[in-house]
Amino acid sequence: MSFSQARPPGVEGPLIDIDQHFNEISATWRTAQLPPDRRLVLHDDNQGERHLYFGDRRIGPGRATRADEYARIEALVEKDDDAFERELRGRRGQPRRYEDVVDPSISSVSKRLEAMRNMATDVSVQFPSYGFYWPERLEKIDLGAIHPHMVAWNRWIADECRGTAGQILGVGQTGWYDAADAAAEIYRCADDGLCGLVVGMRPYRGLPWSDRSNEPIWRAFAETGLVLFLHTSLMSHSLDPAWELADPAEHSGPDMVTMVNRSAPAEAVLTDLVFGGVLERFSALRIAVVECGTLWVESYLQRIDWAEQFLAPRNKYLRRRFPIRPSEYVTRQVRMAAFPFEPVSRFFVDQAPDLLMYSSDFPHDEGTRVGVERLEQALDLVGADTGFRQKFYVDNARALLGRKGAERCSAS
């Protein structure tokens, strides 16, 4: 399928897509210092469907995603309300051959650069795909195997990105399973040229992120300038998974409660980092919230300020600890990626032009090849001027990525 979109008029500098994905391959985890029976590997069955294994144990699906799949279905049902249901019935029992579904660039740097040219994108930030579900599966099987596999992804994506002249920036993967290990890996990823690390948005070791045992982690982020990425996970539920049992058996797509509350994990993390004093102690820490949407942001900023004001008379430490409002820590240190299928709030245009960044989520099903076209329409509806678009497509992401990231971006 051929596609091409135009660059937004009047925008200067490298257009940065803050959310794309590479699918891992079996070679991704080959450097994990583990025996074969404790290593992740991908296998295609004799019908061409891909599955992820841990040793000889199948633990999850191959991510055979297809960009603009949601847009395709939307166009399909506009013409015939039953068309997608018929398609699903026809697919039942039919293999979903991985190679027939995925974009050719799903694991290829050279082909991704070509795809980026057609998408009017100069720089893209690459997250894992399988990495958003396998850690939770391994927590129940072999906790000690998680960190070596994360290190293997980090080394692999760094090697893949190294020859792209700063056009493809890799995101490492870690978790707070051991604070010393995590901090050491942050420093190593900085040396390896990655732009940041993504972490599952939930407590580790039964502790909030602001627990003092995690201070080495925040120091490592502050000293290296790497970005802490908060990205929605494939398998994590925003709330208790029992809520998902309400979805009808014929429901297709993300679970409804998780979809509606997809920002809840990010809100929990940010609230902990604000009121736990992490953002006050580490003002150089920079955070990006990705693929959680942005419709929640204005309300969230209002809520954390209200909570502080309401509780401060009873809690003197709140007034003493925070010289600025809670919302100011977020606007100072956190940036948000616009989801390409949701509207843009006028709040960002009128009050917070430095917060929002462009993303396509390519090549996942809910992602798109034509994110610029879709978001240009959304920006038109809220009267965004060229100055706002300049920040949205270039400047805000460039500032987030910091000096090292800006150097990489300028190389493109």
In angstroms, the CA 172 to CA 159 distance is 12
Nearest of 371, 315, 312, 314 to residue 339 by alpha carbon: 371
In angstroms, the CA 18 to CA 401 distance is 10
Cβ partners under 8 Å of residue 249, min gap 6:
none
Q: What is the pLDDT of residues 18-72, one digit of tens each?
A: 999 999 999 999 999 999 999 999 999 999 999 999 999 999 999 889 999 989 9
Beta strand 50-54 with 286-290 is unpaired
pTM of the prediction?
A: 0.94
DSSP state of 156: H
Q: What SS3 state is found at 169?
A: strand
**Cis peptide, bond prior to residue 363, ω within 30 of zero:** yes
Examine the pLDDT at 407 and tell me if it is beyond 70: no
Nearest of 310, 232, 227, 305 to residue 266 by alpha carbon: 232
Domains present along the chain, CATH in parentheses: 16-34+104-411 (3.20.20.140)
pLDDT band, residue 212 (cuts 50/70/90)? very high
Helix axes 179-191, 215-224, angle to 10 degrees: 10
Q: What SS3 state is found at 35?
A: coil
Q: How far is CA 237 from CA 125, 199, 240, 261, 289, in A?
A: 24, 15, 7, 9, 17
Beta strand 57-61 with 50-54 is antiparallel
In angstroms, the CA 198 to CA 221 distance is 12
Nearest of 355, 22, 328, 14 to residue 158 by alpha carbon: 22
Q: What is the pLDDT of residues 143-182, one digit of tens each?
A: 999 999 999 999 999 999 999 999 999 999 999 999 999 9
Q: What is the pLDDT of residues 233-255, one digit of tens each?
A: 865 566 788 888 888 888 887 78
DSSP state of 67: T
For the purposes of burial, counting CB atoms within 10 Å of the CB of 385, is it exposed (0-12), middle (13-18) or buried (19 or more)?
exposed
Q: Which helix (H) or strand (E) holds 174?
A: strand 168-174
